[in-house]
Amino acid sequence: MSPHRVRAGITELDDPDHEAFVASGRVRRPGAGRPAAAATQPELLAALDRLVDPVTRGDPMSPLRWSSKSTTKLAQALRSEGIAVSADTVGRLLVSQGYSLQSTRKTMEGGDHPDRDEQFQHIASQTVAFQASGQPVISVDCKKKELVGEFSNSGQEWQPKGHPTAVNVYNFVSDALFKAIPYGVYDVTHNEGWVTVGIDHDTAEFAVSTIRQWWQRMGRSRYPEATHLYVTADGGGSNSARSRLWKQELQRLADDTGLSIHVSHLPPGTSKWNKIEHRLFSQITTNWRGKPLVTLETVVGLIGATTTQTGLKVRAVANTKSYALGRKVTDPEMAALKIEKDDFHGEWNYTIRPRPKQERKSGR
């Protein structure tokens, strides 16, 4: 500290008004220092407000309507209007006006269906009823497709310091060995998951083949007395409520197993509420964070090793079979299916009964 500053400090301490000045909380004496920019330029705050939020502030011609609003760009735009201000001052003013740096939030799922809540209540009551009678209840869906190869995977894991796993700089699809397609079945009652990892296409045939594998290798032993199967699924994708092939493949599964398959689709725009999303898929993502998915065996192994403290167990297998796209189900084939629509939103809730053997041939 300079001697001049020490002398100035001693002078302030000797000032009889010093204690009152400190108690006021001020840094400078009243009237000292340069006036605030907002005080000398009354139009500053209003102009800044219009730049930050031009849509609601009625300024559709704002120079920053289609640009990122950094403090530097905001200050430049204000100076172009004849208002002298720095980027730092803009930052302080934004905070004082209640603005903050924020990212977008994923909350918009599309328009709400008027019977959205009623459908969720229907699914909840059906789940309780089937569980009470000892029948299996499963949630099904296809997880996000993953590039297989030397690609980065979001997240971090412990490794020797200075020796991170080397991966490609760019995640180009053309550099991938293939795309892994994990389709899952989550047993709601026993907190168990089955995941088939395909490498071809996510079709209705692939989806139902996964349910079939779950039943043969997990479900049948868990529910030896089962006569019904309750399935909850999204309304789109390979298990779409409108997919004819999905229903035809479920009919074949019902015929082969003797199970009456009851299906309830989630209302439009509510896919993230499917139990498999947050009870199984999110745990799989956590388990393989930071690990490159270099081979099909890696994907299957990481999925199968997923566990939680609440007892989740997962079994995973690879499926290298090819599934044709664009398979059509004719009107006569649809008519041969034994489908019973529920009174409440039959397009979302329906039951597929097993057919007598003499009726099956016409439906194939």
Checking if the pLDDT of 279 tops 90, the result is: yes
Please give the average per-residue pLDDT across 20-46, as a whole number: 75
Query: 283 burial class (0-12, 13-18, 19+ CB within 10 angstroms)?
Result: middle
**pLDDT tens digits along 141-189:** 999 999 898 777 777 665 666 666 676 665 667 777 889 999 999 999 9
Quick one: which of 191, 268, 189, 205 has its CA closest to 233?
A: 268
pLDDT of 91-104, one tens digit each? 999 888 888 877 76
Which pLDDT belongs to residue 131?
97
41, two tokens: 């330029």
Q: For residue 67, what pLDDT band results from cuts at 50, 70 and 90?
A: low
What's the pTM value of the predicted model, to 2 decimals? 0.71
- How confident is residue 85, by pLDDT bands cut at 50, 70 and 90? very high
- Structure-derived torsion over alpha carbons of residues 312, 239, 250, 336, reported in degrees to the nearest 10: 170
Per-residue pLDDT at 113: 80
Of the candidates 114, 110, 121, 144, the one whose C-alpha atom is nearest the C-alpha of residue 285 is: 144
Give the residue extent of every domain in the chain. Answer: 1-30, 34-102, 116-363
Instruction: Give 29-70 as a DSSP string.
Output: -TT-SPPPHHHH-TTHHHHHHHHHSTTTTT-TT-TTTTS---
pLDDT in tens, 293-322: 989 999 999 999 999 999 999 999 999 999
Quick one: tokens of 66?
């289609």
Give the three-state DSSP class for 26.
Answer: coil
What pLDDT is stored for residue 221 in this prediction? Answer: 96
DSSP 206-262: HHHHHHHHHIIIIIHHH-TT--EEEEEE-SSGGG-TT-HHHHHHHHHHHHHH--EEE
Tell me the H-state helices in 53-174.
Answer: 71-80, 87-96, 116-132
In CATH, 116-363 is 3.40.50.720: no
